[in-house]
Homo-oligomer: A and B are copies of this chain.
Amino acid sequence: MNVLIVHAHPEPKSFTAALRDQAVDTLQSQGHQVRVSDLYEMNWNPVASAEDFSTRENPEYLVYALEQRLANKKQTLAVDIQQELDKLLWADLLILNFPIYWFSTPAILKGWIDRVLVSGICYGGKRFYDQGGLREKKALVTVTLGGREHMFGEGAIHGPLEDMLRPLLRGTLAYVGLDVLPPFVGWHVPYITHEARQAFLQCYRQRLETITEDQPMEFPRLNQFDDRLYPLT
């Protein structure tokens, strides 16, 4: 497989970075090709704006997705966006590797999503969910967080983690057609011992060694809905 790891952590020596390195080592030793986009190191610009388009279909009024669609067709996407899009299209597996900030991605990674998941290629028209532009590729979300495992799940104080991650797992990754694998979670990371962190790294290695056999999560399929997207009964 070709694997793209998009990594977003402001501390180069973080445990999140150790997870990134573990993934690179393990996946390469399994014979996969691996590329890493380290967003902080790249000084990635996360702000979707008119400056992303050197020429505009409509210079008077910005509809970001529309300009994306046309820039993609004319091959005039901004260089930083095109480079990331090329990596994404090259990849069979996308790993998003980040610490949870506010039950979500850090802004720098949200801006990778906003700018790189280009309309007209990743989604658009009826190309979404199982018909999305990135179908037949996979995605894995690898996160660290401060909370303990018992704070998540049915009846727990924060509810199921998958529910908190719904806009990412379902609304983004599944939406563009990716097969979304169950997230890998490093719990309570700021507060645990070195040994406990090593145990997470071992766990992650084992998970990655058999990642090609993992079953994706279930999400909506377009054949469950009619042409106007009303549910078929």
Contacts and interface: CB of A to CB of B under 8 A. Distances in A.
A107 interface: yes
A50 B10 contact: yes
Contacts of A163: 163, 166
A220 interface: yes
A111 B46 contact: yes
A172 B225 contact: no
Contact-size category for A: 35 or more
B64 A150 contact: no
A40 interface: yes
Nearest to A107: B111
Interface stretch (A85-93, A98-106, A203-211): A98-106
Interface string A155-173: 1111100011111101110
Interface string A115-137: 00100000000000100000000
A24 to B, nearest CB: 21
A48 interface: yes
A107 B47 contact: yes
Nearest to A154: B231
A94 to B, nearest CB: 14
A167 B11 contact: no
A171 B46 contact: no
A103 B172 CA distance: 8
Closest 4 CB pairs of A and B: A103-B171, A107-B111, A103-B167, A46-B107
28 contacts: A10-B47, A10-B49, A10-B50, A11-B61, A40-B49, A46-B108, A47-B108, A48-B107, A63-B190, A101-B110, A102-B113, A102-B117, A102-B168, A103-B170, A103-B175, A104-B110, A104-B171, A104-B172, A107-B114, A108-B111, A110-B110, A110-B111, A148-B229, A156-B231, A157-B224, A157-B229, A158-B220, A163-B163
